[in-house]
Each structure stands twice: as structure tokens, then as C-alpha cells.
A and B are shown apart, each in its own frame.
Chain A
Amino acid sequence: MIELLNIRKVFNTGKPNEFVAIHGVSLSMDANKVTVLKGPSGSGKTTLLSMIGCMSRPTSGRITLSGQEITSLPERFLTEIRRKTFGFIFQQFNLIKGITALENAMLPAYPSGEKEASMKKRAMNLFDLFNVSQKAYSKVEWLSGGEAQRVTIVRALINNPSIIIADEPTGHLDTKLSMEFMGIVNRLKEDQKTILIASHDPIVYDSSIVDRVVNIRDGRIEGET
């Protein structure tokens, strides 16, 4: 489903601080599977995730998504793919403060021009599903870490994407909440979602839910487990 062909990513090209983050990575990932990119900080996991999620472009190489080449698409099309195909769960949650959990969850759907009532209904169903409906009208700064992450997951799912990208999702959670998160991942997998996680947390990569672990170090693939 996702195909990376000889991907290279260079930051600050031509400057004295030029830095190669990814060195010619080729990888293919299947649909409806949980894949974990495992590696230490600075290994290039996040860079790889952001390129797969159409947030940035590789310096060279190609990425195809369900057979469609996406690296050369103009910005507008990339945004559309990002909105319709991907749901993102960030380590820092990246919720917008000052507005309610519900508004945060509906944010990715706002530009689609969908009626507010139907967005709201979908969001509330997801809030129910993840047991946070009682917090829907709370401001996000009042939420606990676990609640905030569940709101992030609802936001990631609001446009019903086929691929979920999670960057260090358990980075700010304790063991219990990390286990709960993996439970949610399992549920998403049962819902036929393709899940891509970058993590160096054993709770994540040792989990039985995970289908494939790709080891990354210094911008290169070092094998799989």
C-alpha cells in the first residue's frame, strides 16, 4: 500500500550545516497492518513519517500510495491527501488550547464544507467509543494526559482516514495509559486501518498487536523483527 523507493532527505542543502537525515531508504508497507519504526532519538523516524504523511517531501526518491506517486504532487493535492487519507497522532498531542475537545476533534473536517451537525455527530460517536464523551465540552488544557491523547485519536479519525500515523504516541504516557493506547490501536486494526507508529518504547514494539518492526538508525534501515 505504501511504497518508499530510495528515499533521501537532506536538510539545509548546500549550507555548512547540511545534514542528511535519511540515506536512500526503500520500504514497502501493507494495508491493514501495524508497522512500527523503531529507533533511538535522531534516527530519522519522524522525518520518514512526515514524508509518508505528505507533510514534507523527500530530497530524492519516490513515495507511492496505493499505486499513486505522491512525491511530485503540488501542495494542494498533498494537503487533500493528508486530510482524507491520514490521521495523525502526535507525541505532544498538538491540541489547540482555549477551545473545547469537541472543536479540536472537528478541526480537520472544517475545511471540507461538511455540515456542522453531521461532523458533531461523528465526533460524539468517536468520543463515546473512546470513553471521553463527558469531556467533549471541556477545554483541552483541563484534560489529563490520557484524555488529551484520546481526543487526539478522535481528531485523527474524524475524516475516517485509512492510514493512522502516530509519532512516539506513548512518549507522554505512563505504563497503564500506554497499554490502553495499544488497546485502542488493536481496535483500529480490527477496523481495517493501516497503522504506522514511530516509537522506541518496548510497550509499543513488543506488543503482540504489532505485525512488523522496522529498525532504523542514523537514517538507514538496520533490519526487521
Chain B
Amino acid sequence: MRKWIERQRNILDFTLSSLSRRKRKNIALISVYTLVVFFLASIVFFTHSIRKEASIILKASPEMIIQRLVAGRHELVPMNYIDKIREIRGVSSVKGRLWGYYYDPITGANYTLLVSEDGQPAPGKITIGEGISRTRLVFEGDTIEFRTYDGVLIDLEIKNKISSESELISSDLILISENDFRKLFGTPKGYATDLTLQVKNPKELSTIAIKIAELLPDTRQILRDEILRTYDAVFNWRGGIMIVILLGAMLAFIILAWDKASGLSSEERGEIGILKAIGWETSDVILMKFWEGMAVSLSSFLVGIILAYMHVFFASSVLFEPVLKGWATLYPKFRIVPFIDASQIVALFFLTVIPYTVATIIPSWRAATVDPDTVMRA
């Protein structure tokens, strides 16, 4: 066993000093390779994380949302709808929700204001998301000025920041008290933005939705599954576009790698001949080429993955944000919480490292099976 390890070490040593001889060529190759891994991994990390964030949102979201429509547009819902819906069998709870958007002219950002069902801040106080704090440079104890629907300015004090496992939900969010919300937007008492509904048995959801539609014809019912499907479609589609574009890049890389790896130069061929002549077996030569392929592809793979991680989770995927994030004006900026799926890393590994390594070994194997006496005739 020790001999086996030493043999690997010796051959690896030789491989590394061999690689350093063709520095320029190998650095160019590693750079292109790293770039491909970087793009691929960025897309994979991004789409996976954003979908994961979306699923976290949905986990916490109600099973059904009921909105009132007037002339096809979303309108405020009278609170007395709650009593009507509650009477439908199978409904376990119905609540009115107050939420809306507020445009902040200072930062040019839209905030989402929400009256939380569990634990509202006291009147005059708000809780803000990380994104708002970062964009406006405001912290606990500071105040933010809001202009109400009728032009009056009110100051609300930041009580604390929202800690959430998903920044996609909380980045632009402001939790506000019911009183302040109604004061700000002029929402009359007895009305809510929409209603949320929980059922006793999730299998009855669609039946209950039909009953509500019959009972209150001016409402529409949105089921959680429908939102999930929309999210999935949006992000899969966008990830798909990028992957199609990248396939072109991948193909170009494969041609480059194949050309580099399969076309052994006469110098390399000569070296293999020398090694065979001085007592290397075909398997030793293949082992050397295996380590060479591994050294190039593994280092590119690791660097590419690390750069992609930094790009997606620290730099907010600046390079392809406009394509990937549903709408390009998502603001304030949010940072995706890192979620990495090991199976995706493995898939990337098999897509990049393995083909390259194989592409290096095959031609060397062919070169290594020639009679070593060709060296004596050089």
C-alpha cells in the first residue's frame, strides 16, 4: 500500500513539474475552463437558491388568498365577507390582511408594507427588512419619514430589523401597525386588502374555492399550489434560457479541450516514448496523464465553484441578474441566502471534470502503446 501511495506521489510530482513547463498554454486552458464552470455553477446556485427562497415564502403563505375584483382589478375587501366565508364547511380560519406598496422617492425603491397578523409593532413604530436598512442606511432607533395619501408627513421609528431565513421575503418589507397603515394609505375601517384562508383538510381546497366563488361572485381565489407553479415556471424558464446560451459556450469549450487533450504534440509524444524506453509501463503513462487531467480540471472546477459562490451569494449575481431575476428592477437589492445542493455539485463535476480527464487519457494511451524503440530512432 505504501509503495502504491509513493508511486502515485512520484508520478504526481512529475506531472506537476511537467505542467509548469507549459505554463502559458495551461494557464489559458485553466482560465477558460474556470470561466465555464463559473457560469454554469452561478446559474445552478442562483436558480436553486431563488427557488428555495420562493418555497420558504410559500411554506409560510396561506393555503388560499381571496381577493375582490372590481372591473377586473384588485379592490379592497369588506370585512363582512369574512363571516360569510367562515360559514362554509371545512374552513378553519379566515383573516383580513392589510398590505400595500410604498414608493420611496429618496432611494427610488418600492417597499412592501404589511400589517402582521401575529405581533404588530406599537403605533408609531415599524420593523424593517435588511435591504431597506442597507439602502437607506437606517438602523434601530432611527426614523423614516412617510408621506400619507393626503400629503401629510409622518415619522415612524424603527423598532428593529426583521430576521428571516429568506431575504427574498424580508428585504423590502416593513411591518407596521394597523392604525399607521390605515393612516398612511387611507384604507377605511371595515376593509382589508385581501383575505387569507386556512382549511381543515387540504384536499377540500378546490371545493371550498368553488363554493366561495358561488357565494361571492366578485372575488377570485388564489391557491398556494398555483403560486408555486408560477414561481417554478418563471425561474425554470429563465434558468433554462441561460443554460441554452451556456450550452453553446460548453460546446466551444469541449471542442477546445478535446483539441488540446486529444492532439498530443510531437514533443509530448516524444516524451512518452522516452518514459516508455526508460522503463515506464503504459499504465504509468496513463496514470501521469490522469493526474495531469485531474490537476487541470479539478483546480478549474474548484476555483470556478468558489468564484460562482462569491458571485451569487456575495455579489448578488451582478453578471446576469437582468436575465435571471424575474424583473430587473427588484429594489432594494436583496442577497440570496446560500442554499447549495450537493447533487448539483456532483452533476457539475461529472459534466466538466470527468469528460476532460477522459479526453486527456485516451490519446496518451494510444501514444503509450507504441513500441518504445521509436525513441532510439528519433
- Seen from chain A, the residues whose Cβ lies within 8 Å of a Cβ on chain B are 46-47, 49-50, 55-56, 75-76, 79-80, 82-84, 86, 88, 90, 92, 94-99, 103, 107-116, 119, 155, 159, 167
Q: Which of B10, B281, B373 contacts A55 (CB 8 A)?
A: B373
Is B18's CB within 8 Å of the partner chain A? Answer: yes
Is B106's CB within 8 Å of the partner chain A? Answer: no
Stretch in contact with the other chain, from B40-48, B269-277, B306-314: B269-277
- Nearest residue, chain A, Cβ from B23: A98
Is B90's CB within 8 Å of the partner chain A? Answer: no
Is B375's CB within 8 Å of the partner chain A? Answer: yes
Stretch in contact with the other chain, from B1-9, B132-140, B204-212: B1-9
Q: What are 22 of the A-B contact pairs (CB < 8 Å)?
A: A50-B373, A55-B277, A55-B373, A56-B371, A79-B276, A79-B281, A82-B277, A82-B279, A82-B372, A84-B279, A92-B378, A94-B277, A95-B274, A98-B17, A98-B18, A99-B14, A107-B14, A111-B11, A113-B2, A113-B6, A113-B7, A115-B6
Q: Which of A55, A76, A103 contacts B376 (CB 8 A)?
A: A55
Main secondary structure of the interface of B (DSSP, over half): helix
A55 to B278, CA, bound (A): 9
Question: Are A99's CB and B18's CB within 8 A?
Answer: yes
Q: Which of A47, A96, A111, A116 contacts B274 (CB 8 A)?
A: A96
Residues of A within 8 A of B14 (CB): 99, 103, 107, 110
CB distance from A78 to the nearest CB of B (A): 9
Given A79-B280, A99-B18, the answer on whether A112 and B378 have CB atoms closer than 8 Å is no
Is B104's CB within 8 Å of the partner chain A? Answer: no
Question: Are B378's CB and A88's CB within 8 A?
Answer: no
Question: Are B278's CB and A155's CB within 8 A?
Answer: yes
Question: Are B279's CB and A50's CB within 8 A?
Answer: no
Residues of A within 8 A of B20 (CB): 98
CB distance from B330 to the nearest CB of A (A): 52
CB distance from B368 to the nearest CB of A (A): 11
Q: Which of B281, B284, B376 contacts A167 (CB 8 A)?
A: B376
Interface residue ranges of B258-290 to A (CB < 8 Å): 271, 274-282, 284
Contact with A along B45-82 (1 / 0, CB 8 A): 00000000000000000000000000000000000000
Lowest 3 A-B CB distances belong to which pairs?
A: A83-B279, A98-B21, A113-B3
Question: Are A116's CB and B376's CB within 8 A?
Answer: no
Which size class do B's interface residues fall under?
Answer: 20 to 34
- Nearest residue, chain B, Cβ from A94: B274
Best-surrounded residue of A56, A99, A113 (most CB of chain B within 10 A): A113
Is B117's CB within 8 Å of the partner chain A? Answer: no
CB distance from A197 to the nearest CB of B (A): 13
Given A92-B378, A94-B378, the answer on whether A56 and B373 have CB atoms closer than 8 Å is yes
- Nearest residue, chain B, Cβ from A168: B376
A110 to B110, CA, bound (A): 67
Residues of B within 8 A of A115 (CB): 6
Question: Are B284's CB and A111's CB within 8 A?
Answer: yes
Residues of A within 8 A of B3 (CB): 112-114
Is B13's CB within 8 Å of the partner chain A? Answer: yes
Residues of A within 8 A of B24 (CB): none
Question: Are B6's CB and A114's CB within 8 A?
Answer: yes
Is B377's CB within 8 Å of the partner chain A? Answer: yes
Residues of B within 8 A of A80 (CB): 279, 281
Residues of B within 8 A of A116 (CB): 6, 9-10, 13
Residues of A within 8 A of B376 (CB): 46, 49-50, 55, 90, 167
A49 to B2, CA, bound (A): 35
Residues of B within 8 A of A90 (CB): 277, 375-376
- Nearest residue, chain B, Cβ from A95: B274
Residues of A within 8 A of B21 (CB): 97-99
Q: A111-B280, A159-B279 are in contact. List 19 more A-B contacts (CB 8 A).
A: A46-B377, A56-B373, A76-B281, A79-B279, A88-B278, A94-B274, A96-B274, A98-B18, A99-B17, A99-B21, A103-B17, A107-B14, A110-B13, A111-B281, A111-B284, A112-B7, A113-B10, A114-B3, A119-B10
